Every structure is written in C-alpha cells, then in structure tokens.
Amino acid sequence: NAGVTQTPKFRILKIGQSMTLQCTQDMNHNYMYWYRQDPGMGLKLIYYSVGAGITDKGEVPNGYNVSRSTTEDFPLRLELAAPSQTSVYFCASKSRTSSSYEQYFGPGTRLTVT
C-alpha cells in the first residue's frame, strides 16, 4: 500500500497564478482532509470530505476549492495565489468505521508564493 500520496512535493508560484495540489489514497477511506501548516504553527483544517461528491469547509477555506469525484482522489485548487498561502499542505484520510481513530497523513507539499 502506498497510503496517502501527494504531488508535487515542492512548488513555487507567482502571485496570481493558479495550481492544483493532488492527493490520492489507496486505503478505500471515506474521509479525506486538507490541512495547511504555517511556520511555527500546528496544522489547520482547510476542507474535508466524508465521501465522493461531498465536501465541506474547515477552519481556513478562503482562497481554496476542492472536489471529490472519486473515493481515492481529493485535489485542492488554489485560484489567484497570494503570499499568505505560502505554507506546507498536508492531505490526510481516515476510515469511516467507528473503531478507527487514526488519520493517515501524506508527506506534504511545500508551496511558496512570491
């Protein structure tokens, strides 16, 4: 199992550009999440999804969009990138079963907007 994979690992964007961060999981997890981690801070929830076709906002959704057309994929779209979006982005997934607690994290994408 590859677990949760994210691409790219690093990216530099100019202000106003757009890009999509890819996230794929092969564990058949229903729940998926996007977090951002700013320097010296903990992770903050951007968006989450409880299943294909269902997404909802987390704590810091402004400037981002998501979609969930399949169970496996949960891409994060940045429109009109701003310096405030410079961060490390983590995707995570979790099983829906009540006995499952752990969120499995991808390796992160480091994004710099200049």
Partner 1 sequence: AQTVTQSQPEMSVQEAETVTLSCTYDTSESDYYLFWYKQPPSRQMILVIRQEAYKQQNATENRFSVNFQKAAKSFSLKISDSQLGDAAMYFCAYRSAEHSGGGADGLTFGKGTHLIIQP
- Give the footprint of partner 1 on this chain (CB under 8 A): 31, 33, 35, 40-45, 48, 50, 56-59, 88, 90, 92, 94, 101-103, 105, 107-108
CB of 3 to partner 1, least distance (A): 10
- Dihedral sign for Cα 10, 41, 15, 90, please: positive
Residue 10 vs 80, nearer CB to partner 1: 10
| DSSP state, residue 24 | E
Q: What spatial distance separates the first Cα and last Cα of the chain, rounded to whole Å? A: 36
Residue 16 vs 57, nearer CB to partner 1: 57
CB of 39 to partner 1, least distance (A): 11
Assess contact for 31 and 49: CB atoms under 8 A. Answer: yes
Residue 38 vs 73, nearer CB to partner 1: 38
Q: Say how many C-beta atoms besides its own lie within 10 A of residue 6's C-beta.
A: 20
Query: Rounded to 10 degrees, what is the CA torsion of 113, 107, 21, 91?
Result: -110
CB of 16 to partner 1, least distance (A): 27
Residue 102 vs 114, nearer CB to partner 1: 102
